Amino acid sequence: MSTRVIVIGYGMAGARLAAELHARDGDRKVTVLGAEPHRAYNRIMLSTLLAGKIDEPDVELTHVTGQGVDVRTGVAVTAIDRAAREVHTADGDRHGYDHLVLATGSRAVVPPLPGLDPLPDRVIPFRTLDDCRRILAAARDARRVLVLGGGLLGLEAARGLAARGLDVTVVHPTGWLMERQLDATAGTMLAGTLAGLGVRTALAVPAIGVAADSHGVRLDLADGRSLDADLLVLSCGVRPDTALAAAAGLTVDRGVVVDDRMRTSDPHVSAIGDCAQHAGALTGLVAPAWAQARVVAQVLAGDEPQARYRPRPVVTRLKAAGIDLAAMGDAADTAPDDGGDHGGAVEELTFADPARGTYARLRIRDDRLTGAILLGDNPAVGTVVQLFDRGGPVPADRRSLLLGRAFGAAPATPAASPALMPDAATVCQCNDVSKGALVACWRSGARTTQELSAATRAGTGCGGCRDAVAGIAEWLAGAEPATAGTRNGMEVTR
């Protein structure tokens, strides 16, 4: 008898789990129930869609079809009966399961401001594809747009709308942008970079109310000002969607609590992605969600029953045209070293060039990079990300990481050619694809960037590595056997 697996949620996590299970041997029936009416799509690329750089088909993820997989869109689950091992849907159906996986994601936070309950037509959260469609429809007749929230998504939305020629102002309650990832200096310099790209900012001022009618929307601020616009976009964070789990009696804190195998308090129920809380932490990013999906697939398929989820260091990249920003680790934390049991003393290195919008900050402990902020053009960003991701020792001359230049005998500048890049170097952070994996895939027959991406999934997450994948594909296509792989102990033939 085949094992019945039900996945609630057909977003990036649920779709990846369905694909992972479909690719593994075994007698199982996988049913995916998605409340949204669309095929699964890449939520990370919505800001690029908002900017008009891509079209809707470009955000669609590969649709899993074939024997053993049944994907149903536009089907909302209303309840989980753990005793009967059934889920109930809004259309009156009941689906039995042997194992249930929650991939319910998260919902946009609507701040408790006067005038936002119910949401006026001219006020739109930025979270889903439908939200994106509504924003684009409203933007056609708009001239001025306000974005409430200066975090990652808010800035991506602001930059995308500004790229369409709209007058955009970001309103943020704290003193600098992206305060979770950046320190005050970087956040202030980022605001200057945005100003040069047509995005104004109003910082350190909370919103206290909203008024909207058919003619426009007004945002009232705590300092007495009122800002008028044609459209208000809300980007005030997200909250894990735990309603089904809580109603079913599963252990819920901020998210659905899971162990290292992504199991909830019920061994027959797992949770992955935005809705899951592992070791007290929420993810909210695609790379951890996909890693969690792989663990669940390995455990359910039985090919790696001892598989465990181990969080990896997270690198945040701002995906907005004209802005180069990478933030990772604890660099935004300005607390002094407490001299505890963390290891040796912390080194802090910074470089700032406000005129050029360039800023770099590194935090190093015991010759290992524990955090970094890189804003603006810095040729060393690839090297810094690799050092942080792999935990490798930093060069003796730290200036090469700050400035992207080699000093003395210890250069740390990134490879000018893929031939100089080690096989172990991670090209795609979202899918953990190395340069060596791309070379091996090319040797197996993939001959274009698209074929390499299809085979390895490199570039299908945030999209930040697409240029790197294309560069490696170009290098491989033109490489001679004597030069293509000899530096890495690999012969590459055409």
Instruction: Name the H helices within 96-250.
Output: 129-139, 152-162, 184-196, 243-247
Q: Are strands 207-213 and 269-271 parallel, antiparallel or unpaired?
A: unpaired
Sheet-wide strand order for 231-234:
123-125, 231-234, 144-148, 167-171, 199-202
- Res. 491 pLDDT band, cuts 50 70 90: very low
- Given this model, what pLDDT does residue 457 score? 79
Q: 207 has which bridge partners?
A: 221
- Given this model, what pLDDT does residue 83 score? 98
Q: Are strands 123-125 and 231-234 parallel, antiparallel or unpaired?
A: parallel
Sheet-wide strand order for 315-317:
315-317, 325-329, 368-375, 358-365, 346-353
Among 323, 45, 49, 270, which residue's Cα sits nearest to residue 164? Answer: 49
Give dist(CA 144, CA 227) in Å, integer. 10
- Name the CA dihedral angle for 128, 132, 134, 140, rounded to a multiple of 10 degrees: 180
- Given this model, what pLDDT does residue 220 score? 98
- Which amino acid type is present at position 485? G
**Tens of pLDDT, residues 40-62:** 999 999 999 999 999 999 999 88
- Res. 413 pLDDT band, cuts 50 70 90: very low
pLDDT score of 259 more than 50: yes
pLDDT (average), residues 243-269 = 98
- Given this model, what pLDDT does residue 462 score? 67
Cα Rg, the chain, nearest whole Å: 24
